[in-house]
Amino acid sequence: MESESRNNPFLGKENRKAFLPIFTEYSEKLINLQKGEKFFPYFCNNMIGFISKGLLKVSMSNEDGEERLMWFLEKSCILNCSSNFLQTTTALEPTEILLLNKEILFDKIIGNRELFYLYLDQLYQKFEYSLQQILTENKKSSKVKVYTLIQQLAKIHGTVQPDKSIFCKTVITRRDMASITGVHRSNIIKYITELERMGIISKQKNAVIIKEPLLLDKLIELEDDYI
């Protein structure tokens, strides 16, 4: 179950607050982003960032300029800045990033096993998620990919209501869903509409309610078995 919970694009639920004192004391630059504002980490090649508040979505581009949404970084996540990767980050809410020189951080974590493991853990989580996406790319149906993303979004960002439904503010767009799942937007609309017709979800302005979370879980399981 643990590996399944980590196999999602929403990074940051693990406790990485131990990094905060280092970034607070040694940060050389503070980046404040408003909702929708972009930040380009590859311009800060010798730096490394710490998200002290907010939520970022991270996209990467190849040499041909093709862009794909990779994952979401939440509060307490490390943001690696490198000119080797064409990353674009977009704030999904007001976000604050503390930047410091990479050498300072590495000097601090080399002698601290807890920090070392926390740093590696985020790298491993990205690697595990990316590898899982490659391994299952042609094995999961488009419908399962969309259903699973909604399930993950609800479990990580949702709030359980007294009637066991889950209220979740919408933090990603249909375009984001298409980018991260590889499913065309028209099909995403189709699958979401199907869930609405089955009474499993309902949409509100800037929010979605998972009315039947257990039924959604069962539906994903049945679709996987069918494949």
Question: What is the value of pTM for the model shown?
Answer: 0.72
Dmax (CA) of the chain: 56
pLDDT by 10-residue block (mean), the chain, 227 residues: 54 73 92 93 87 90 73 88 80 93 91 88 83 69 88 86 90 85 89 92 88 90 65
* 41 contacts 82 by C-beta, under 8 angstroms: yes
Of the residues 63, 98, 133, the one at which a domain ends: 133
* 54 contacts 90 by C-beta, under 8 angstroms: no
HSE-CB for 60 with a 13 A CA cutoff: 12
pLDDT of amino acid 226:
54
Both 93 and 183 in one domain: the answer is: no
pLDDT of amino acid 2:
37
Q: Count Cβ atoms below 10 Å from residue 60 Cβ, excluding itself.
A: 14
pLDDT of amino acid 63:
65
Both 86 and 158 in one domain: the answer is: no
Both 86 and 146 in one domain: the answer is: no
Both 35 and 84 in one domain: the answer is: yes
Both 74 and 150 in one domain: the answer is: no
What is the chain's length? Answer: 227
How far apart (Å, rounded) are the C-alpha atoms in residues 120 and 109?
10
Angle between the 142-157 and 213-226 helix axes, to the nearest 10 degrees?
Answer: 150
How far apart (Å, rounded) are the C-alpha atoms in residues 26 and 101?
8
pLDDT of amino acid 82:
77
* 11 contacts 82 by C-beta, under 8 angstroms: no
pLDDT of amino acid 67:
76
Give Cα 131 distance to the centre of its chain: 15
Both 112 and 209 in one domain: the answer is: no
Total domain count for the chain? 2
Both 97 and 161 in one domain: the answer is: no
Of the residues 133, 155, 172, the one at which a domain ends: 133
Cα distances from 153 to residues 93, 117, 207, in angstroms, run 16, 26, 11
Both 109 and 167 in one domain: the answer is: no
pLDDT of amino acid 193:
92
Angle between the 113-136 and 102-110 helix axes, to the nearest 10 degrees?
Answer: 110
Strand partners, 168: 208
Both 153 and 210 in one domain: the answer is: yes
Rg (CA), the chain: 18
Of the residues 75, 110, 133, the one at which a domain ends: 133
Place of tokens 């999961």: 140
Strand partners, 78: 50
Both 44 and 107 in one domain: the answer is: yes
CATH number at residue 195: 1.10.10.10
Strand partners, 159: 167
Both 23 and 112 in one domain: the answer is: yes
Both 82 and 100 in one domain: the answer is: yes
And the tokens for 197?
Answer: 């017709």
Q: Which domain holds residue 147?
A: 142-226
CATH number at residue 8: 2.60.120.10
Phi and psi for 118 in degrees, rounded to 5?
-65, -40
